[in-house]
Structure 1
Amino acid sequence: MFLNSRIPKKALSNHHINLKFSIYSTKFLSSLVSALQVPSIFPTKPHNQQNFPTTFDPYQYLNESAKSRDYTLEETKIIHTHFLKTNAFHSNPEFSNYLLRCYYKASAFDHALKVFDAIPHPNINSWNLIISCHNGNLRYAESWGSFCRMHSLGFYPNEFTYGSAISGCIASNFVNCGKQLYSLALKDGFSLDGYVRSGMIDLFLKSCNFNDALRVFYDESCGNVVCWNAIISGAIKHNEDRLGLNLFQQMCRGLPSPNKFTFPSVFSACAKCQQLDLGRLVHGLVIKYGDGEDVFVSTAIIDFYSKCGQVDEAVKIFSRMSVHNVVSWTAIITGFVQKGEFESALRLFKEMLSLKVEINNYTLTSVLSACVNPILLFQIHCWICKTGFYSDPTVKNSLINSYSRTGAVESSQQIFKDSKDSMNPSTWAAMITCFSQNGRLEKTFSLLKRMFREGLKPDKSCIPSVLSITDRLQLGEQIHCYTHKTGIFNNPLVGCSLFTMYSKCDCLKESYKIFREIPEKDEVSWASMIAGFTEHGFAYKAIELFQEMLVNHIVLDEKTLTPVLAACASLQSLKSGKEIHGFFFRRLIFAGSPIVHMYSKCGDLKSAKLVFNMMPFKDPVSCSSLVSSYAQNGQIEDAFHLFRELIVSDFEVDSFTISSILRSVNGPETGIQLHGRIVKLGLESDTSIGSSLVTMYSKFGNLEDCCKSFEQIDNPDVITWTAMINGYAQNGDGLAALKVYELMVESGFKPDSVTFVGVLSACSHGGLVEEGYCYLESMVKDYGIEPGLRHYACMVDVLGRAGRLEEAVGFIGKMPVEPDGLVWGTLLAACKVHGDVEIGRMAAEKFIELAPLSDGGYVGLSNILAELGNWEEVLKIRNEMKGTGIKKQPGWSYV
């Protein structure tokens, strides 16, 4: 027996050994007796004649070579038997610990526990082994219990005890127990041990207590590379990327040196922060320390270069790797996809198939993102079904998204039906996103209702898709309540979608309130709120919000730069725009197009052209901004010169740039030449270009070519129809303009406020007074559009041209808004036509009162009096103009 008479009772009481284990020990001994029939593991004869050695020296098992060897369970039982026979088990605790270690390595945890219970005088090594046994058997509560029992018996833990106990706390997430362990380690002087410290950092990181982990790291200066790796990796996993990079830089300035386990996390942070220059420096360190051959480090470098848009660099690293894993293949494919080089991505995938490289669901997700060809997408879909990946929810979601991008909504629906037995909310979210992206509003909301009926809860990936197409305030408010109820409101993406929805529904106050309620706002949220203020005419609030970002040290990037510069452009605040440009320039953040647009709108075309010339890649937005600004500021030659530069440089001129240049054309011949270039480029059917051509030809009175340009447009929109209405109206054919309007309504288009300006202008040119009244009423009644001052001015023009001046005066008096200079100027022009001095004088006085520095009122009244031969009054008005310093502006014409 293990617990025989030679063990004093005092020892039993001191170590609190439960006597019930003696029963198990007896059974265990009987099992060892049966083990004697197993052939010996101590060969003294040839292999086929193995027997027990004649002499047995237990001390041979305490040397290093014996300790490092792993024995099977049967072999361990034989050793155990010899220890019992020679009484080595009870004579020296090292033999007992050796047996414990052997059973532990053989994963025979129950046998190890029984051996521990039979040890007469266990030492600290025995307790360390039994704590490790409990951890290996996933009995973390027993591991913690063993540590407490050991401590209560007066044993002093060492660094291995603390390390094993903390490992158990990490696996079971016993944070409070871990804190107690660390307090004891501090007291006993083991807190600086790398094993203990790194384990404690790991415990706090896994329990999402990053600040506590950082506090442990900073308790004392640390030279252990494991601790540095743990805290750097933890910072990056907790989205503290810049802190992680800062810690890495501190590590490089002292000890220890980074190793191959440090670099992957650092490259990940560089990719997330788009720190290309820093990443290149880290790559240099990898080469310096000779870790470039490690497959994980190389894969991290490939992923970094790919995500930073440097796919050529990633390909170089990939080609030099002696061994490629599925992660490295996927990283390089993803890089090509992000750069838009879909053919290269698909070519690599084909090479993976030919080389029979392992493919996982992440690889397929990237490959499906590259499928813009429906036929190719169908082929890959068939391959996915053949290989069994079709059952993977991530792959199914990617298929739904891919078919959605190609407009094949029915195919997406079929995949969704195949997944109907799956209760995966992400698949429902993918289908809802598909409907919303393809404009299927009713189906989107219907599927959302079904989701609730099925007992599923829309998650943080689903709600933003629904909110992106929600233009009904009541529905948006219901979704808002749901986000609070389920707790997903705190997600930055959900919160950003909510206040964007309110902004889209013209509820800017509610939008800003939600923005303030979001607990953790990311840079996208700030940029979206700044854009909302700018779009709704509160550009000054956008600038204030940007200043608040600076005070709160929010990370700034291109997403922030674009809306804040748009606010400066809206305010035409050149000073603020220059300051913001300089601020971002110092932080090496470049975004050429928004800067060009800002300088252009603020009238500083010299700076705009300077920034434009410095841009390594010209984009259509910057080109159209500069061309348009030249034209609007009267620099027509500069506008055409820049346009010619783009053509000569083989720049792919897009519809925005061509539309801008068309609006600045000042002669029919130039317009015809541009039209020829448009036809050569095959852009005559483009909606925006077609609208500009219609406007250009109508400006020159060429209604025939105006109609031809309209007929060439594939999908005319409201703007195009309005341009056609205005073209007829401005050229005096009011009836034709109204016919175009009726045809537009019959085609299912909803007119806007600009359309009605053209319609009312057509009524004035055609002398259609009653029709004018009807269309003005239709604006409010049929389309809910409140008439503005331009509409009222058009109606005054309708009455004025018809000679109904008294009625026009009465109409102005009944207007729900105060008339401006345009309304009174229109009446004054009608008075000149009909020679009505009294009403003309009243209209002129009103006009001069509203626009004292304009010559229109004086000149209009002067012309009326001149027509009637009242030269004394004419001379008096001329003298008044000279006295106030107002000069008559010379007239001009396209002819």
Structure 2
Amino acid sequence: MDYAFRLFEEISEPNVISWNVMISGYNRSSQYDDTWRVFCKMRVLGFDPNQYTYGSVLSACAALRGIWYGNLIYCLVIKNGFYSNGYVRTGMIHLFMKSFCFEEGLRLFSDVLCENVVCWNAIISGAVINRENFVALEVFSQMLCGNLMPNNHTYPSVLSACTALGELELGKQVHGWVLKCGLQGDVFVGTSIVDMYAKVGDINDAVKGFSLMVIHNVVSWTAIIAAFLQREDPVSALQFFKEMRKVGVEVNNYTLTSVLTACAKPQMMKEAIQIHSLILKCGFDSDSTVINSLINMYSKMGDVFSSEVVFRESGTATDVESWAVMISGFAQNQSSGRAFETFRRMILEGIRPDKFCSSSVLSIIECINLGRQIHCYILKVGLVSDVSAGSALFTMYSKYGSLEEAYEVFEQIHGKDKVSWTSMIAGFAEHGCADQAFHLFQEMVSEGMKPDRTTLSAILMACSAVQSLQKGKEVHAYALNVGIGSDSLVGGGLVAMYSKCGALVSARKVFELMPRKDQVSWSSLVSGYAQNGYVEDSILLYHEMLVAGMDVDSFTVSSLLGIAATLTKADLGKKLHTPVVKIGLSSDLSVGSSLITMYSKCGSIEDSYKVFDQIENPDLFTWTSMIIGYAQHGKGMEALRLFDLMRKKEVEPDSVTFVGVLSACSHSGLVEEGYSHLNSMTKYHGIKPGSRHYACMVDILGRSGRLEEAANFIAHMPIEPDALVWGALLASCKVHGDVELGRLAAKRVFELESTGAGAYISLSNILADVGQWDEVINIRSLMKGVGVQKEPGWSLCKS
């Protein structure tokens, strides 16, 4: 263009044609600023532009998205009488569309009837660019009705609109028009057909469309490879890539990124190395898009070492996207320390982490204080209002239960999308804040945001948590109204909600109407029957689940084992235990804990320990279940030995663990050890003792005959003693025959729990043991006076 301009300057009398040659030349060279400069010079020198001049200058304005300059040109167009010229109007429509001024472009198109197909193509492609796909199809329909024949530039845009809307049937009709017009052999139209079928899920027609193409270029080959990737068929994708190489079509960076995605599986290491070699051979190792895909591929294969090697040797150390992909790779492989260190190194090297870097680090933060440091950085660089970074930040706070901080961040996000609304609702629901979840759901709907299947699943979780049947029914009605009531995710949530609310008839109806029952819906209904006491229904459905070939999860098995524990049916528990071992769930911690509890409650503490001993890395709940099991069976020393072993394994106890430990001390008469463990709760573990812990300590003292010390202990408790504490003292008074202290304990229990029969019976028995029958009669009369009745005894006998 420099040589061209020098020659142009030497022309003594340039005309409009020579000016147009220069202007269009700068356009072809993408030197749009120079286009504008030459046009301005042409005007200053008094030359009158024609339609070709205006069309070229408007194209330059569109490329620069210079809407202000474009409007100036359009004023000249109207002034000089070129308003109805199709070439000029097309340029102006392109300008409006590329500047996202869709309404202005549509108004311009509608002002004058145009029979120029280029103008129609401009409005159709512009509508697709602006995501006005319905408008694009409507304009295409008007074009056909007006007997204006579409060309090879029309169909790719129309097919893109069908793809965006998921309109397979309409896409097939457009394909029919392509065949009618004889454009099937056009490489761009053919590629659009392949892409449309691929993205709407019809892989067979995508392959058929590809095979009917006369010429295949790199774009069409890449489209069919991407089609198989969308169907999660990497083997076929690689086969087509090999065919592409065999026929000699040169690959581009889009082809390679698609193939690298296909290789991102541990079992495809050999193919991955071959593609990596090809990248080096073809010189794509300097292309940042390919390098980032390569880093991502190795990360998804679990080979973070190779990802780091590619990252270090790629020369993309200043490319923020490469850093983001590397951090994401560490996050995918749960290397939180490495991810955070890379994030920190990025800042030290003067590269500003973007929203993707921040989101990846926040996704695997293991310490809330570290998360707060990232929060400070996000505030500093102004990313807190970004949807991606803000959502990752409030999700991190939600994960650690800091819902106030999570909501504060959520409120600061601009342009909240459906994912951010759903994540915040799920955060409230998961942490038992159902009212806030309901309020946020209503706010989301009032903001004009349409909840999807994931949102409804989250709000149903909140309904289940508070057992709100009414709100659950409202959500069900909404789901039916928007047409997703039979969706498997929503259906599973509805089954779980109705089951938790005890509405098992409704739960079963929803379950039966689901076209595709997944594992969650089966498990929810089995557990619902189990938790509501419908033993036979639960077990029958469990067997149906197995016959249907569904995988049994730990939640289902734990619920069934809970039935066996509650009913103390060891035979049922053992029948469940056998398939648990067979399907490999015996090592699951929740199942293991349920088996321990079941065997313990059924009187077989030896079987409980066998299960415990087979668990490789017991968690807190499993240790606690075994300790409590030993305590309940009077094996206090074994419980305490297990607690010591638990501490050596560096498993931190909770308040429930200490109830088991103190119960063990009580059964073994270990008073001093009881005091020691009670004091250690606050001193070493930061756990504030509750009523159950103090009741256990009173029981320890009472069983050891130290009743006065127990009474003195109650008097100096840091919390107000409740009926449970006084009841423990009363039980000890009965054992040791202390009438006066028993009277005091019983009086306190009557004051706190006037309707309970236990205290009346205990005091009555104490008085009967010392022969005070008049007072026994008075106690019985008092029970009748306050409406307390002793429940008749019963026994469970085997016939």
* TM-score normalised to structure 1 length: 0.76
Q: Deviations over 1:804-835 (max 9, x none)?
A: 45555555555555555555555555555455
The question of 1:764 aligning with 2:666 is answered: yes
Shift of 1:525: 0.8
Question: 1:221 pairs with 100, 106, 110, which one?
Answer: 110
The verdict on how the C-alpha distance between 1:284 and 1:385 changes in structure 2, with shifts beyond 3 A counting, is same
The equivalent of 1:773 in structure 2 is 675
Question: 2:777 pairs with 872, 882, 888, which one?
Answer: 872
Shift of 1:295: 5.3
Q: What does 1:797-876 correspond to in 2, within 5 Å? A: 797-812=699-714, 822-823=724-725, 826-827=728-729, 829-834=731-736, 870-876=775-781
Question: 1:165 pairs with 57, 62, 70, which one?
Answer: 57
The verdict on how the C-alpha distance between 1:767 and 1:147 changes in structure 2, with shifts beyond 3 A counting, is same
The question of 1:606 aligning with 2:505 is answered: yes
The equivalent of 1:251 in structure 2 is 139
Shift of 1:713: 2.8
The question of 1:484 aligning with 2:385 is answered: no
The question of 1:577 aligning with 2:472 is answered: yes
Q: Is the 8 A contact 1:523 1:559 kept in 2?
A: no
The equivalent of 2:523 in structure 1 is 624
The verdict on how the C-alpha distance between 1:324 and 1:539 changes in structure 2, with shifts beyond 3 A counting, is farther
The question of 1:725 aligning with 2:627 is answered: yes
Q: Is the 8 A contact 1:729 1:765 kept in 2?
A: yes
The verdict on how the C-alpha distance between 1:175 and 1:540 changes in structure 2, with shifts beyond 3 A counting, is same
Question: Matches of 1:622 and 1:180 in 2, distance apart?
Answer: 63
Question: 1:742 pairs with 639, 644, 654, which one?
Answer: 644
Question: One-letter code of the match for 1:166?
Answer: L
Q: Is the 8 A contact 2:58 2:91 kept in 1?
A: yes
The equivalent of 1:678 in structure 2 is 580
Q: Deviations over 1:43-74 (max 9, x none)?
A: xxxxxxxxxxxxxxxxxxxxxxxxxxxxxxxx
The equivalent of 1:539 in structure 2 is 434
The equivalent of 1:530 in structure 2 is 425
Question: Matches of 2:541 and 2:385 in 1, distance apart?
Answer: 48
Q: Deviations over 1:729-761 (max 9, x none)?
A: 222212212222222222233333443333333
Shift of 1:722: 2.5
Range with greater deviation from structure 2 (599-608 or 836-845): 836-845
Q: Is the 8 A contact 1:464 1:493 kept in 2?
A: yes
The equivalent of 2:338 in structure 1 is 443
Shift of 1:574: 1.3
Q: Deviations over 1:390-421 (max 9, x none)?
A: 55444444444444445444444444443466
Shift of 1:543: 0.8
The verdict on how the C-alpha distance between 1:255 and 1:403 changes in structure 2, with shifts beyond 3 A counting, is closer
Q: Deviations over 1:372-393 (max 9, x none)?
A: 7645325522441254155544
Q: Provide the aligned length of Structure 1 versus Structure 2.
A: 775
Question: Matches of 1:542 and 1:352 in 2, distance apart?
Answer: 52
The equivalent of 2:589 in structure 1 is 687
Unaligned runs of 5+ in 1: 1-103
Q: Deviations over 1:300-340 (max 9, x none)?
A: 56556656666667566666666655555555655655665
Question: One-letter code of the match for 2:620?
Answer: V
Question: Matches of 2:588 and 2:200 in 1, distance apart?
Answer: 34
Q: Is the 8 A contact 1:214 1:231 kept in 2?
A: no
Q: Is the 8 A contact 1:346 1:367 kept in 2?
A: yes
The equivalent of 1:566 in structure 2 is 461
Range with greater deviation from structure 2 (251-260 or 726-735): 251-260
The equivalent of 1:669 in structure 2 is 571
Q: Is the 8 A contact 2:327 2:357 kept in 1?
A: yes
Q: Is the 8 A contact 1:263 1:297 kept in 2?
A: yes
Q: Is the 8 A contact 2:695 2:728 kept in 1?
A: yes
The question of 1:655 aligning with 2:554 is answered: yes
Shift of 1:862: 5.5
Shift of 1:837: 5.5
SS of structure 2 residue aligned to 1:628: helix
Question: Matches of 1:642 and 1:247 in 2, distance apart?
Answer: 51
Question: Matches of 1:723 and 1:462 in 2, distance apart?
Answer: 42
The question of 1:493 aligning with 2:388 is answered: yes
The equivalent of 1:518 in structure 2 is 413
Question: Matches of 2:29 and 2:208 in 1, distance apart?
Answer: 46
Unaligned runs of 5+ in 2: none
Shift of 1:166: 0.9
Question: Matches of 1:454 and 1:894 in 2, distance apart?
Answer: 77
The verdict on how the C-alpha distance between 1:670 and 1:487 changes in structure 2, with shifts beyond 3 A counting, is same
The equivalent of 1:287 in structure 2 is 176
The question of 1:551 aligning with 2:423 is answered: no
Q: Deviations over 1:155-201 (max 9, x none)?
A: 76554443222112223443321122234445666556554444334
The question of 1:176 aligning with 2:75 is answered: no
Q: Is the 8 A contact 1:687 1:714 kept in 2?
A: no
Shift of 1:526: 0.7
Shift of 1:268: 5.9
Which protein has the larger Cα radius of gyration, Structure 1 or Structure 2? 1
The verdict on how the C-alpha distance between 1:636 and 1:344 changes in structure 2, with shifts beyond 3 A counting, is farther
The question of 1:705 aligning with 2:607 is answered: yes
Question: Matches of 1:261 and 1:804 in 2, distance apart?
Answer: 96
Question: Matches of 1:726 and 1:292 in 2, distance apart?
Answer: 75
Question: One-letter code of the match for 1:684?
Answer: S
Question: One-letter code of the match for 1:777?
Answer: N
Shift of 1:688: 3.2
Shift of 1:888: 3.9
The verdict on how the C-alpha distance between 1:585 and 1:190 changes in structure 2, with shifts beyond 3 A counting, is farther
Question: Matches of 2:741 and 2:665 in 1, distance apart?
Answer: 23
The verdict on how the C-alpha distance between 1:282 and 1:650 changes in structure 2, with shifts beyond 3 A counting, is same
Question: Matches of 1:582 and 1:651 in 2, distance apart?
Answer: 29
The question of 1:377 aligning with 2:265 is answered: no
Q: Deviations over 1:120-172 (max 9, x none)?
A: xx46x665555434434555445334544555677765544432221122234
